[in-house]
Amino acid sequence: MIDKELKEVCKKWPQIKRYLATLDCKTIDAEDIFQEALLIFTRKKEEPSFELTVEPFFYIKNTCKLLWYNEARKQQKNPTIELSDDLKELDTPWLQKEMKVRSIEESMRKIGDQCQEILQLFYGLGWNMIEIAKKMG
């Protein structure tokens, strides 16, 4: 029974996508929200105390609306900034330092564990070569 209801609702996905678009929801977000609404509907249908008083389409459409409102509220609280592909525009001392750190981290991943440990002991912890030699054997 639930499979039939889900198939019918999935056929009406374009309607729900258009509805979410009117709420300023991007297509990729709408797809995630729709899938989450389907999961919520499926879980609710399995509960013995759940009584569906509207058609599944309207239940899922309303669930999508509520999920989108919650997501939009979260995005307003934590806005994201898209960085330009051309990082030369953002040429700042902070960015230069960050790029150097990333380069060092990438190089550290390429060397062996024992070399990493020696460098961390010397530069990170400030050990001298005699202490490092004793530790490394």
Q: What is the pLDDT of residues 1-51, one digit of tens each?
A: 667 888 888 888 899 999 999 988 888 889 999 999 999 998 988 888 988
Which residues have a Cβ under 8 Å from the Cβ of 84 and sit 6 or more positions away?
A: 90
Whether the CB-CB separation of 39 and 61 falls below 8 Å is answered with: no
- How many other C-beta atoms are found inside a 10 Å radius of the C-beta of residue 112? 8
> Taking the domains of the chain in order of start, what are their residue ranges?
2-77, 87-136
Query: pLDDT tens, 113-127?
Result: 888 888 888 877 888
4-35 burial, b for 16+ CB within 10 Å, e for fewer?
A: ebbeebeeeeeebbeebeeeebeeebbeebbe
pLDDT confidence tier of residue 63, bands split at 50, 70 and 90: very high
Verdict on whether the full-model pTM lies above 0.75: no
